[in-house]
Amino acid sequence: MTPTLDYDGEIAVLDLGDDENRFSPEFLDAVDALLDTVLDKGAQGLVTTADSKFYSNGLDLDWLGAHSDQGPWYVGRVQGLLARFLTLPIPTAAALVGHAFGAGAMLAVAHDYRVMRADRGFFCFPEVDIRIPFTPGMAALIQAKLTPRAAVASMTTGRRFGGVDAHEYGLVDATAAEGAVTLTATEMLRPLGGKDPGTLGAIKQVMFGRAADALRAG
């Protein structure tokens, strides 16, 4: 299933899909197009979720292996999408209904808020164990959103955080029971509706401009 868009009142709900939701070029194009729609229709917030045991498994390593000559372009494309989420001019929340690994976890971090299922699923940056160092942009994104304690605990260990531990470290803002993750994320955004997008976008650009610039320079 390709990414799809629905609405809960004024909150846009972007479903990443029903498989591992890896970042193929087609996936990236689809998400970018749906973000255009969200902004064009004046949504008051955006929740991303999934219909799978995965929120996202991140980079499409199969595609990358078959197109190694396009590696720099591909990484730049992924980082461009992360930068867009980081500075999106509406409130955003990631509903982690399943596993978030690597760039999938980075996508979650690029949102304003994160809600994770309490009893199942892992949040993990496995880069240290799969011998793929973070790019400067990816490191800047993570360190812009997490405390030093949380960044060290997640970036240097490859640890798989369950929902309760992820909340304790501040990797996510809340946990919820099965079936309530997306609703919890949506209700988290509901009181934030009505913010002026121009002002909010400018504030995010000031807050996270260095990380966004490092991602776009990727």
pLDDT band at 218 (very low <50, low <70, confident <90, very high): confident
CATH of span 4-217: 3.90.226.10
Q: What is the pTM of this model?
A: 0.97
**Mean of the per-residue pLDDT values for the chain?**
97
| Closest among 99, 57, 103 to 82, alpha carbons compared | 103
Question: ∠186-192-198 over CA atoms, to 5°?
Answer: 120
- Work out whether strand 174-176 and strand 11-15 pair parallel, antiparallel, or are unpaired: unpaired
- Which residues does 127 contact at the CB level (< 8 Å), separation at least 6? 102, 133, 134, 155, 158
Q: Where are the domains of the chain?
A: 4-217
| Sign of the alpha-carbon torsion through 131, 127, 82, 196 | negative
The Cα–Cα gap between 166 and 115 comes to 10
SS3 157: coil
pLDDT tens per residue, range 132-149 = 999 999 999 999 999 999
Query: pLDDT value at position 119?
Result: 95
Mean pLDDT of 93-110: 98
Q: Which segments of 87-196 does DSSP mark as H helices, in order? A: 103-109, 127-130, 136-145, 148-155, 163-168, 181-189
The Cα–Cα gap between 181 and 18 comes to 16
pLDDT at residue 1 tops 80: no
pLDDT tens per residue, range 15-35 = 999 999 999 999 999 999 999
Query: pLDDT value at position 21?
Result: 97
What is the DSSP track for 81-94?
A: HHHHHHT-SS-EEE
pLDDT tens per residue, range 112-135 = 999 999 999 999 999 999 999 999
Mean pLDDT of 4-15: 98
pLDDT at residue 3 tops 80: yes
DSSP single-letter state for residue 134: P
From the DSSP assignment, how many helices (H) and strands (E) are in the chain?
10, 9
- Which residues does 82 contact at the CB level (< 8 Å), separation at least 6? 103, 106, 107, 110, 137, 138, 141, 215
**Contact of 27 with 21, CB cutoff 8 Å:** yes
